[in-house]
Structure 1
């Protein structure tokens, strides 16, 4: 089943709290006939739109294609957490690729966070960027491990702005008895993701990029001047940027083998009133160390946004909300009686190393995907790096490509009969923590 269509109505934003609290733009036209551009971008999320915006600053003509709407995918429906690091620690990275490259990647991760903050400050104040992400640990041994990691970080990566907290101190931030402690990262942040991505689409268009909606890229005809074939037309370009992440299957076997599509789900409660202060002590986002990550934050009207419960089939379960609400109630018994008013799901791209997959599909075709839950920050940076590479400045793209990666067993065939086997293998890895 194609993740573009198996869970959503084509061209309609999901029934999220984000869509309910955002003025949605009119539908843009779809591509008809044959067009030309310097660069064609497939996917109108953070990656594709940042790429388009940066390319227009360099004077290149850009066409952006999206099978649904700009911001329709993961960029407009995620948990809104803006990280400042990777899914692997800098110590882990340094041990595998060397300290100099790990330092360069660290700088890129911080740039990614600053890009979101700076864009929202200047172009999308309605996205309400705020600093602070707490990370909870269920086991005291994990807290001690975090302490050792950040002792090393203090020596090699000053400026991380992360503090390790014992159980009592962490409870003042996240009032759940399930956590044995955790960390607070004051550099990271959170944002209204749909307002952010819609503002990004607006600014890319204002800069001269053409965005065609309801236009699925069916295949790429490779060559000196590649051609992207769509339902009702084609785009010939000098360069192609693949920016579909978890919703992009079938355009490149190499990407299909390295990035798996999984689903995550979010519920938003009724306004909590004074109960909000019994859940989170500050206006921060939070997540934890469970294999299927829980993530949550207070949003407008003092509601709690609570997400998690990944599943390993393409199809959403019939009942998204009940198990998600049960998990929220176990974590925060003080609000277990408060119902969800909005429930939705979405797909994201997960790589085997939980790090972005950076590839030159061909000399004139670039791809970055598989953000593995860190896409609100890293996806925008990815678009910028691909734009730089297209413009002839590939050094930072090449640095990003040193992130370790691997392939899933039979990953490129995961749209067919081996999907269940591949997903079961992935679920086992999560349970084993590898």
Structure 2
């Protein structure tokens, strides 16, 4: 989930929080299925993930969340010494290889992908680009933080920053999320340590569409490496623009007679993305979906 279950229940209510958790479990099923069906080589590993408390209040929530979700068949264990919970069914993958694998599968199924083709405007049934116009019975906008450039949108752009080191000896067994998800790290299949977050230390600055890393945030990431005795050189630093919604849930559904939207993942695109894509496809086909109300753009 995007946050621990107790926090989600406080925000949305128990029933809705459970529906959200189950939808993220559907993402697991879809990733497994798509990787197997299309032979996608994306370094997929199911090593679990850790939620680590930033303070005593969060630790109480993490422990209680584990207790509640265990009653719904979650494979979870807690460690009071490290004030953490390990969710055994979680995993990680190489996001670029994942996207390329999906693109290849889509193209093999007949989809036509036009890269480096900026959409300049969208009207009902037509997308205009510098290279010409595309007409369609329905248009699905998956432009996340940039959706507001094309249609009215409540998604707001928020910057996230990361770094990656050269390959080094094993340090972390699985991905981890700490301090209410504001800090996160993992070690890749080839041994690189990837660290990101600390946006909460500069909330007012980490907004907008600038994809330039800042010394302020990068210094926190460097400090994390030092605190964990990681001396491998940093090989990459980057920033990216995330689309945030008003309530931390994505917007998926119809916004105009012939326009649908799928975005606003609020920093949790891997948790929500595949299941929300399935929801969007279902709605595009004119079918109902039991979770459509959770993500209705008009909510």
TM-score higher than 0.5 = yes
Counterpart secondary structure, 2:68? helix
Q: Distance in 2 between matches of 1:404 and 1:146?
A: 31
* Counterparts in 2 of 1:307 and 1:203: CA distance versus 1, 3 Å: same
Is residue 203 of structure 1 aligned with residue 101 of structure 2?
A: no
**Structure 1 match to 2:51:** 135
Is residue 166 of structure 1 aligned with residue 80 of structure 2?
A: yes
CA deviation after TM superposition for structure 1 residue 374, in Å: 1.5
Is residue 232 of structure 1 aligned with residue 131 of structure 2?
A: yes
Aligned pairs for 1:361-372 (under 5 A) are 361-372=255-266
**Structure 1 match to 2:242:** 348
CA deviation after TM superposition for structure 1 residue 240, in Å: 1.0
Report Cα offsets for 1:99-156 as digits up to 9, x if no partner.
2x5544433221112211222233245212112111111223321222223333334x
CA deviation after TM superposition for structure 1 residue 216, in Å: 1.5
TM-score by length of 1: 0.61
* Counterparts in 2 of 1:106 and 1:200: CA distance versus 1, 3 Å: same
Counterpart secondary structure, 1:345? strand
**Structure 1 match to 2:203:** none
CA deviation after TM superposition for structure 1 residue 268, in Å: 1.4
Q: Distance in 1 between matches of 2:290 and 2:121?
A: 28
Kept after mapping to 2: 8 A contact 1:143/1:164: no
Which runs of 5 or more structure 1 residues have no equivalent in the other structure?
1-84, 171-180, 406-434
Q: Specify which of 290, 302, 308 is matched with residue 197 of structure 2.
A: 308
Kept after mapping to 1: 8 A contact 2:253/2:297: no
* Counterparts in 2 of 1:242 and 1:399: CA distance versus 1, 3 Å: same
Which runs of 5 or more structure 2 residues have no equivalent in the other structure?
200-205
Q: Distance in 1 between matches of 2:114 and 2:216?
A: 31
TM-score by length of 2: 0.86
Instruction: Flag the structure with larger Rg.
Output: 1
Q: Distance in 2 between matches of 1:365 and 1:302?
A: 43
Q: Specify which of 221, 241, 254 is matched with residue 123 of structure 2.
A: 221
Kept after mapping to 2: 8 A contact 1:355/1:404: no
Q: Distance in 2 between matches of 1:403 and 1:358?
A: 6
* Counterparts in 2 of 1:121 and 1:128: CA distance versus 1, 3 Å: farther
Q: Distance in 2 between matches of 1:149 and 1:301?
A: 32
**Structure 2 match to 1:272:** 168
CA deviation after TM superposition for structure 1 residue 200, in Å: 0.3
Kept after mapping to 1: 8 A contact 2:51/2:176: yes
**Structure 2 match to 1:119:** 34
CA deviation after TM superposition for structure 1 residue 164, in Å: 2.2
Q: Distance in 1 between matches of 2:234 and 2:216?
A: 11
* Counterparts in 2 of 1:93 and 1:361: CA distance versus 1, 3 Å: farther
Counterpart secondary structure, 1:127? coil
CA deviation after TM superposition for structure 1 residue 318, in Å: 5.4
CA deviation after TM superposition for structure 1 residue 98, in Å: 6.4
* Counterparts in 2 of 1:318 and 1:193: CA distance versus 1, 3 Å: same
Q: Distance in 2 between matches of 1:246 and 1:400?
A: 19
Structure showing greater relative contact order (alpha-carbon pairs closer than 8 Å, 6 or more residues apart): 1
CA deviation after TM superposition for structure 1 residue 203, in Å: 0.5
Aligned pairs for 1:280-319 (under 5 A) are 280=172, 282=173, 284-290=174-180, 293-310=182-199, 311-315=206-210, 316-317=212-213, 319=215
* Counterparts in 2 of 1:144 and 1:221: CA distance versus 1, 3 Å: closer
> Number of residues paired by the alignment?
291
